[in-house]
């Protein structure tokens, strides 16, 4: 006879595991490789890094409101390139290009 077993699952939050600059860099690189041209995926990855680093501090450094940052980096909106560049700079990251 089988018993009903309840399993409690926790939500996975990548931000909890991004502790160092190297972690953030590796995470963003992996997201670029997986994104397949999906800009919302990259925006959400930057949002994850931003949450790991502290969204309030990022808002101060970029001059963009905290709520606006959450919305822009949710993966459900289309942030301007200017916003993305401000976020990348404030996070101490660098975008680079290569041949695909």
* Average pLDDT, integer, range 18-26: 94
What are the extents of the domains in the chain? 18-90
Which residues in 7-26 are b (16+ Cβ under 10 Å) and which e?
A: eeeeeeeeeeebeeeeebbe
Residue 3, pLDDT score: 81
pLDDT band at 89 (very low <50, low <70, confident <90, very high): very high
pTM of the model as a whole: 0.85
pLDDT surpasses 90 at 4: no
Q: Name the average pLDDT for the chain.
A: 92
């Amino acid at each position: 006879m089988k018993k009903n077993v309840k399993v409690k699952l926790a939500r996975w939050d990548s931000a909890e595991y991004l502790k160092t600059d190297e972690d953030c860099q590796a995470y963003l690189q992996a997201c670029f490789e997986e994104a397949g041209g999906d800009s919302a995926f990259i925006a959400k990855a930057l949002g994850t890094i931003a949450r790991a680093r502290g969204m309030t501090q990022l808002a101060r450094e970029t001059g963009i409101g905290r709520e606006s940052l959450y919305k822009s980096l949710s993966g459900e909106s289309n942030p301007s390139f200017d916003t993305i560049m401000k976020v990348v700079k404030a996070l101490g990251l660098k975008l680079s290009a290569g041949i695909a």
